[in-house]
């Protein structure tokens, strides 16, 4: 007899909300009516926390201190009961509007094994070789100058920029073939440590600048060629879930221009062209574009991914706080952006002198604590949380991807720099898995 999975209140409530939002009648309801229906499906856990499955098909946690709802994955396996609350307590931004439930989930894994499939890499290598034969006089480098030599044509930069912009977390391990094919074009060695390349994620404006510069120079055919290279690259990347959501978004932005070459003739300015590209994306792809449209929301989603990736830990919020503690926060802006569970964990680390570790260089280059900065008598909760031990390599890759994406999102939001050698907690985790093989190609989900 097949064992029956135990009933879970969070799973049940999520299924109910998904069914409601999928119903065609949902679109015909007013926001207050939708809020009224959702308010009947709020869950309360024994500790008094209130949970709602809302916008972006994600869970939201009510903060009793200020009444805000924060994105936060729920504590699976914990008892919860459904309670009816006043619809007025739900702000419009937590009420699903429909298309947000159709977002491509993608994968949060970094490239700490398995590598990108060989077929994908080979297709990009062929595209790169053809693009590298273009003249730098016809395709001058107007972005990514810090990455490529001055005689490299912008067609090469277009491929690189597309890969990096589409990647969930552009962290590549030492066996990664996808970036080694660019070796002959690089201006200097890539940043990172001896095994992982923690690469910057370019803004969409860098890609748009390559195209708009050619338009301003009176070379519309060259501009279209660059847009086509981006589309070809994104099409290839679609087969890997670590790239798919943003690759799909980029295709929806670029393809109309390729079908109608005169579509953007009046938009030679890079900022105006970027705005037009973003406007073309359907609402179902909104989460993929938060990195461009809403830096604060993008950071909140990255933190959600991080906590979810740490579900194997006894206390996921505390474990997530140990990675958040690496972020530079001289203005003390971070705690206010966290839900109350994360905020308590972060403040506990702060009182122990364990925050801002990467920014203040309180760790050695290898990511281990510097003598004199280690807590001599750590509290039991800190002792457990500081030792993040993923059960397998896929879990480690998910944690590393989510942690690096969180660091990049924080940098986009605040201007804080991410160390080229990676954040301290990530580096320590990398050293625990560096000896394991990562050349077994499996499908990523």
Read off the pLDDT of each residue in 145-159 and give the average, rounded to a whole number.
95
Q: Is residue 165 part of a domain?
A: yes
> How far is residue 435's CA from residue 438's CA, in Å, rounded to a whole number?
9
Give the pLDDT score at 368: 36
pLDDT of residue 438: 56
Backbone angles phi, psi at 217, to 5 degrees: -85, 5
Q: Are residues 144 and 279 in the same domain?
A: yes
Q: Is 252 part of any domain?
A: yes
Instruction: Examine residue 55 and state whether it is found in any structural domain, yes or no.
Output: yes
Where residue 436 falls among pLDDT bands split at 50, 70, 90? low
What pLDDT does residue 140 have?
Answer: 96
Higher pLDDT, 269 or 163: 163
Q: Would 109 be classed as within a structural domain? A: no
Please indicate, yes or no, if residue 133 is contained in any of the structural domains: yes
Say which DSSP state 134 is in.
Answer: S
Confidence band, pLDDT 50/70/90 cuts, at residue 319: very high
For 370-384, the pLDDT digits (tens) are 332 333 234 444 444
Average pLDDT over residues 359-363: 45
Last residue of a domain, one of 259, 275, 293: 293
Average pLDDT over residues 145-164: 96
Residue 74 has a pLDDT of 94
pLDDT for the residue numbered 264 = 74
- As a whole number, mean pLDDT of residues 16-26 equals 95
CA dist list (Å): 190 to 73, 145, 169, 173, 403: 35, 13, 16, 12, 20
Same domain for 227 and 311, yes or no, is: no
- Rounded to an integer, the average pLDDT of 272-282 is 93
Question: Do 216 and 226 touch, CB atoms closer than 8 A?
Answer: no
Residues 160, 184 within the same domain: yes
Q: Residue 2 — pLDDT band, cuts 50, 70, 90? A: very low
Q: 58 with 21: CB under 8 angstroms?
A: no
Highest-scoring range by mean pLDDT, 4-18, 94-108, 362-376: 94-108
Least trusted range by pLDDT, from 186-200, 235-249, 304-318, 428-442? 428-442
Which segments within 177-299 are labelled E, that is strand?
196-198
Q: Are residues 200 and 340 in the same domain?
A: no
Indicate the pLDDT class of residue 362, thresholds 50, 70 and 90.
Answer: very low
Residue 77: which of 108, 56, 46 has the closest Cα?
46
183-242 pLDDT, tens digit each: 999 998 887 766 888 999 999 999 999 999 999 999 999 999 999 999 999 999 999 999
Largest CA distance in the chain: 72
Quick check: is 20 in a domain?
yes
Q: 203 with 263, same domain?
A: yes
Last residue of a domain, one of 249, 269, 293: 293
Q: Specify whether 259 is located in the same domain as 318.
A: no
Question: Is the sign of the CA dihedral 77, 425, 179, 392 positive or negative?
Answer: negative
> CA–CA separation, 311 vs 73, rounded Å?
9
- Name the pTM for this structure: 0.90
**How many structural domains is the chain composed of?**
3
Which tens digits make up the pLDDT trace of 158-198?
Answer: 999 999 999 999 998 877 888 989 999 999 888 776 688 89
Helix (H, G, I), strand (E, B) or coil at 60: strand
Residue 437 has pLDDT above 60, yes or no: no
| Residues 289 and 300 placed together within one structural domain of the fold | no
Give the domain range for residue 154.
118-293
- Both 43 and 87 in one domain: the answer is yes
Q: What is the DSSP letter of 58?
A: E
pLDDT at 367 > cutoff 70? no
Distance CA 236, CA 224 (A): 18
149 lies in the same domain as 289 = yes
* Mean predicted lDDT score pLDDT of the chain: 87
Q: Do 299 and 289 share a structural domain?
A: no
């847009």: which residue's tokens?
227
Query: Residue 394: inside a domain, yes or no?
Result: yes
Q: How confident is the model at residue 440 (pLDDT cuts 50, 70, 90)?
A: low
Whether 251 maps to a domain, the answer reads yes
**Are both 351 and 365 inside the same structural domain?**
yes
Whole-angstrom distance, CA of residue 306 vs CA of residue 406: 8
> Dihedral of the CA atoms 48, 52, 57, 58 (nearest 10)?
-20
In this structure, the answer to whether residues 344 and 206 fall within a common structural domain is no
Q: Which of 105, 80, 73, 110 is nearest to 320 (CA)?
A: 73
* Residue percentage of the chain with pLDDT more than 90: 66
**Domain termination residue (choose one: 293, 312, 338):** 293
Tens digits of residue pLDDT in 378-413: 444 444 446 888 998 889 999 999 999 999 999 999
């Amino acid at each position: 007899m097949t064992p029956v999975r135990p009933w879970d209140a969070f799973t049940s409530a999520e299924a109910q909300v998904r069914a409601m939002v999928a119903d065609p009648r949902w679109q015909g309801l007013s926001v207050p009516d939708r809020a009224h229906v959702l308010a009947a499906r709020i869950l309360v856990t024994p500790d008094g926390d209130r949970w709602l499955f809302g916008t972006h098909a994600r869970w939201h946690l009510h903060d009793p201190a200020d009444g805000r709802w924060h994105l936060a994955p729920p504590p699976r396996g914990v008892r919860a009961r459904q309670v009816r609350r006043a619809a007025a307590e739900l702000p419009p931004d937590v009420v699903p509007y429909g298309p947000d439930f159709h977002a491509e989930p993608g994968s949060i894994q970094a490239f700490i094994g398995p590598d990108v499939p060989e077929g994908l890499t080979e297709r990009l290598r062929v595209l790169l070789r053809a693009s590298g034969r273009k003249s730098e006089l016809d395709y001058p480098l107007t972005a990514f100058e810090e990455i490529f030599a001055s005689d490299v044509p912008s067609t090469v930069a277009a491929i690189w920029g597309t890969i990096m912009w589409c990647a969930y977390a552009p962290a590549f391990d030492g066996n990664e073939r996808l970036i080694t094919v660019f070796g002959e074009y690089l201006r200097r060695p890539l940043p990172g440590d001896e095994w992982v390349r923690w690469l910057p994620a370019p803004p969409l404006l860098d890609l748009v600048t390559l195209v708009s510069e050619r338009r301003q120079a009176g070379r519309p055919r060259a501009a279209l060629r660059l847009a086509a290279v981006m589309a070809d690259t994104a099409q290839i990347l679609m087969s890997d879930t670590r790239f798919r959501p943003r690759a799909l978004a980029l295709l929806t932005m670029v393809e109309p221009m390729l079908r109608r070459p005169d579509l953007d003739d009046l938009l030679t300015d890079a900022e105006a062209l970027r705005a037009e590209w973003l406007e073309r994306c359907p609402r179902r792809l909104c989460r993929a574009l938060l990195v461009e449209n809403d830096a604060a929301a993008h950071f909140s989603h990255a933190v959600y991914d991080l906590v979810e990736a740490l579900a194997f830990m006894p206390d996921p919020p505390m474990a997530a706080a140990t990675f958040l503690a690496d972020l530079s926060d001289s203005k003390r802006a971070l705690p206010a952006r966290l839900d109350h569970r994360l905020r308590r964990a972060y403040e506990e680390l702060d009182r122990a002198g364990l925050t801002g570790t990467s920014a203040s260089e309180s760790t050695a280059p290898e990511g281990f604590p510097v003598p004199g900065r280690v807590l001599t008598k750590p509290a039991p909760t800190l002792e457990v949380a500081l030792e993040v031990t993923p059960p397998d390599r896929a879990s480690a890759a998910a944690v590393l991807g989510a942690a690096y994406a969180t660091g990049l999102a924080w940098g986009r939001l605040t201007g804080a720099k991410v160390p080229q050698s990676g954040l301290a907690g990530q580096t320590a985790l990398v050293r625990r898995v560096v000896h394991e093989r990562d050349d077994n190609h499996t499908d990523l989900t």
